[in-house]
Structure 1
Amino acid sequence: MSAAASSIPSAADLAGLFEADGVLLYAIEAQDLSIVDIWPEHASAGSLKLQVGFGVTGLVARTGKPVLLEADSPRNSLHRQLLGLKPQQTVARMCLPLRGLDEEAGVVGVLAVHRSPRRPFGPDDLEAAGPIATVLGLRLHAEQLWRAVNRHRTERDRLMKQAISAQEAERRRIAFDLHDGVTTALASMSFHLSAADLTVSELAAHDDSEASMRAQELERARAELVSARVLADMAYNQTRAAISGLHSLVLDDLGLVAAIESLVQMASRDEGPSIELVVDPAADTDDLPNHAAAALYRILQEALANAVKHAEADRIVLSLRRVGDSIVIGCADDGKGFDQEERRNARTMDADGAQHFGLSSIAERCAIIEASLRVESVPERGTTMLVELPL
């Protein structure tokens, strides 16, 4: 018996061990007992639901105490079918509680063994079944924990996708609002300022000696208009840049690779380091979920912005490749780098006391999509960031 108890026996094994006519193994789900193993097999076993606290099996589940019955006759018709009972027929039963790993788990299931009333179960059977019940309880608890983990993981993935999708939708809405409202107004203002400047120029051209004071005032007005137009153009360009930062229409329309290419092109317009993009031809991203593509785009966007702003680099290389079933993106620069140990042990502060949140923001985005992040940096030898997302 001890050798059998050291393994995890099936219902058929237990029937042989106890010379029983049948075995039913129940697991507790909420307030119901459901069959997870049965011998002899029965097509309707999955339909039986016994409520915790009711009937012999339910009582064992609630009290945690084993029960021996010399002659039992369950009232549930399906239960009787599974026990192979005819009308008015009785059966000897042994029901044991199956406990989980700790007291908090409590009873996680019930082992029910039955045979002819002519051979009722006794204390020796109950004692022999104890170690087996312990093993079965641990197995049931482990399975329940595994299912709970999978449920939580599935729910987490669903909420994560919803959160990223909602975030991108809000970015899209703000970008469209800026485009349709602010940039249109700024463009119109710039047009009117140009027209006013032209009018002032024409008036100044008709100046004569008797109207010199008026001409000077017109010139001052013209200077003010020119300054206003410069500011309007600056506001327009900054708003356009903000729109591009908020949401990438290229990502929606053409996918991740095209969006990164657009990101590099925009960043390369300004004076600064040389920016390159290396894409592995085998890096197919067609099967990449939309929320994951958006997250990877934001990570590279943040990494590029950090490198341009803080690295003091001459060259920055963005990369995208496929490694097995994973997408790997990277950002490498030849800038000033940093001491990783010091970065871990101290907050990185600007001269005015503002904290850099670049790396922490990237780490948070990686955690949301369950991607791994690796950052390698050496002072005066640059920094390399790699993000790997399993698909």
Structure 2
Amino acid sequence: MSRGAVPTAAELAGVFAADGVLIYAIDDQDLTIADLWPGHPSSGKLTLQVGFGVTGLVARTKEPVLLDADSPRNPLHRQLLGLEPKETVARMCLPLFGLEDRIVGVLAVHRSPQRPFGPGDVETARPYVAVLGLGLHAEQLWRAVNHHRTERDRLIKQAISAQEAERRRIAFDLHDGVTTALASMSFHLSAADLTVSEVAAHTTGTGQAQDLERARAELVSARTLADLAYNQTRAAISGLHSLVLDDLGLVAAIESLAQMVAREDGPAVDLVVDPAADLEDIPDHAAAALYRIAQETLANAVKHADAERIVLSLRRVGDSIVFGCADDGKGFDTGLRRVVRTAGVDGAQHFGLSSVAERCAMIEASLRIESVSGRGTTVLVELPL
């Protein structure tokens, strides 16, 4: 056993020339076996209560107990100690302390009553008990961290899924309600324009004809506004929810974003996807977050960078997915930007970058922004899977 290493039950059995060793860990008000020697198939079934029995008493009082002849009543406990009916055993039960003198477990060593334990054995056990207690505490803390991390991941997944579900609901409501009403309005305005035009064609009075022409001009303006509202609502629906993401996945959804920018007479947008990258194992909530990040970074490059060319990329690097957005626009001073945002000045203009940072934090992705004034901006997001 190396110096400072956490001892195993088998190693401790050799140290004390014991017939068996049981290492208990405290879980709330119960003692469960963390390690034992010799092994037993039913060891995972034994649970002792803190405060009851010799082992539970040590866990409650935090004081060592030495017994020359003990005979536990729990049948499973007797099996683990290898005891026949009415057979006794010498036992040494020592409390295990973690950080800040927190009791985290109990070390129970047993051997023949002909070789009882004494103060010398307690002294011999002192360094092993200290390391073993810290090891148990570290393991408990690690399990707690993993539990909280798992719970956090579950809540984040639910939150993102709920956000996407709400976006989907609003998009469908807009599609079925507002866009339908706007399309109908445009149709009726066109019909009214046609009616007014027909009436004007059969009107002989100059004053009445002028009135009808003014009315027709108002109808044309109203129809133009209705068409504009319809198109803007359609764009909002596309921004709220991507059917392509649902049906065809992340790559197709980002490609759809790039094509939409090109259709709107924006800068040239290229999407580069590593053909060897396996992107099928991205969880749905993470894919949705990456899509929103791509949406935000692309919008920033189009609206604020004055870029002529934007390159979006997706690639696999080890166990991570890396998304990139690079443009040849005007860029900015990242140091000055941090000062400006810290001072609370001009914050609204850069809300998109804040949104990207928040989404990265939610899915535990790293974010790196590289930019130089006059030389473009590169945003890199690395998501560990």
TM-score (norm 2): 0.95
Q: Displacement, 1:387?
A: 1.1
Q: Relative to structure 1, is the Cα distance of residues 350 and 108 closer, same or farther in structure 2, using a 3 angstrom cutoff?
A: closer
Q: Displacement, 1:351?
A: 9.3
State the secondary structure of the residue aligned to 1:108. strand
> Percent identity over the alignment?
78
2:283 to 289, 299, 302: 289
Asked whether the equivalents of residues 321 and 383 of structure 2 are also in contact (C-alpha less than 8 Å), the reply is: yes
User: Where in structure 2 are there 5+ consecutive unaligned residues?
Assistant: none
Partners of 1:115 and 1:352 in 2: CA distance: 75
Partner residue, 1:162 = 158
1:218 to 212, 217, 236: 212
User: Where in structure 1 are there 5+ consecutive unaligned residues?
Assistant: none
Partner residue, 1:27 = 25
Q: Relative to structure 1, is the Cα distance of residues 108 and 352 closer, same or farther in structure 2, using a 3 angstrom cutoff?
A: closer
Partners of 1:229 and 1:72 in 2: CA distance: 95
Q: 2:337 aligned with 1:343, yes or no?
A: yes
1:125 to 102, 116, 121: 121
- Corresponding letter in the other structure for 2:270: E
Partners of 2:94 and 2:42 in 1: CA distance: 23
State the secondary structure of the residue aligned to 1:356. helix
Give the count of matched residue pairs.
385
Asked whether the equivalents of residues 348 and 356 of structure 1 are also in contact (C-alpha less than 8 Å), the reply is: no
State the secondary structure of the residue aligned to 1:282. coil
Partners of 2:201 and 2:233 in 1: CA distance: 36
Q: Displacement, 1:323?
A: 2.6
Partners of 1:379 and 1:189 in 2: CA distance: 47
1:15 to 7, 13, 16: 13
Q: Displacement, 1:200?
A: 0.2
Partner residue, 1:374 = 368
1:143 to 139, 153, 156: 139
Partners of 1:143 and 1:348 in 2: CA distance: 40
Q: 2:266 aligned with 1:268, yes or no?
A: no
Partners of 2:266 and 2:169 in 1: CA distance: 31
Partner residue, 1:77 = 75
Q: Deviations over 1:220-260 (max 9, x none)?
A: 21111111101100110000000000000011111111111
- Corresponding letter in the other structure for 1:8: V
- Corresponding letter in the other structure for 1:243: I
Partners of 1:351 and 1:148 in 2: CA distance: 41
Q: Displacement, 1:141?
A: 0.8
State the secondary structure of the residue aligned to 2:341. coil
State the secondary structure of the residue aligned to 2:316. strand
Partner residue, 1:36 = 34
Partners of 2:121 and 2:302 in 1: CA distance: 76
Q: Deviations over 1:178-220 (max 9, x none)?
A: 0000000000010000000000000000121xx2222222112
> Comparing 230-239 with 267-276, which one deviates more in the overlay?
267-276
Asked whether the equivalents of residues 349 and 355 of structure 1 are also in contact (C-alpha less than 8 Å), the reply is: no
Asked whether the equivalents of residues 261 and 267 of structure 2 are also in contact (C-alpha less than 8 Å), the reply is: no
Q: Displacement, 1:355?
A: 4.7
Q: Relative to structure 1, is the Cα distance of residues 323 and 274 closer, same or farther in structure 2, using a 3 angstrom cutoff?
A: same
- Corresponding letter in the other structure for 1:57: T
Q: Deviations over 1:113-152 (max 9, x none)?
A: 1122222111111111111110110111111111112112
State the secondary structure of the residue aligned to 2:350. coil
> Comparing 223-232 with 280-289, which one deviates more in the overlay?
280-289
State the secondary structure of the residue aligned to 1:346. helix
2:108 to 103, 109, 112: 112
1:228 to 222, 246, 257: 222
State the secondary structure of the residue aligned to 2:275. coil
Partners of 1:323 and 1:79 in 2: CA distance: 51
TM-score (norm 1): 0.94
Q: 2:44 aligned with 1:46, yes or no?
A: yes
Partners of 2:158 and 2:85 in 1: CA distance: 55
Q: Displacement, 1:349?
A: 9.4
Q: 2:93 aligned with 1:99, yes or no?
A: no
Q: 2:319 aligned with 1:321, yes or no?
A: no
Asked whether the equivalents of residues 340 and 346 of structure 2 are also in contact (C-alpha less than 8 Å), the reply is: no
Asked whether the equivalents of residues 327 and 377 of structure 2 are also in contact (C-alpha less than 8 Å), the reply is: yes
Q: 2:169 aligned with 1:173, yes or no?
A: yes
- Where do 4+ consecutive residues of structure 1 move more than 4 Å? 348-353
- Corresponding letter in the other structure for 1:334: D
Q: Relative to structure 1, is the Cα distance of residues 349 and 130 closer, same or farther in structure 2, using a 3 angstrom cutoff?
A: closer
Asked whether the equivalents of residues 278 and 317 of structure 1 are also in contact (C-alpha less than 8 Å), the reply is: yes
Partners of 1:200 and 1:352 in 2: CA distance: 50
Partners of 1:240 and 1:226 in 2: CA distance: 21
Q: Relative to structure 1, is the Cα distance of residues 350 and 117 closer, same or farther in structure 2, using a 3 angstrom cutoff?
A: closer
1:244-283 equivalences under 5 Å are 244-283=238-277
Partners of 1:350 and 1:131 in 2: CA distance: 56
| Cα-Cα RMSD | 1.9
Q: Relative to structure 1, is the Cα distance of residues 27 and 351 closer, same or farther in structure 2, using a 3 angstrom cutoff?
A: closer
Asked whether the equivalents of residues 332 and 385 of structure 1 are also in contact (C-alpha less than 8 Å), the reply is: yes
Q: Relative to structure 1, is the Cα distance of residues 93 and 380 closer, same or farther in structure 2, using a 3 angstrom cutoff?
A: same
Partner residue, 2:64 = 66
Partners of 1:27 and 1:372 in 2: CA distance: 37
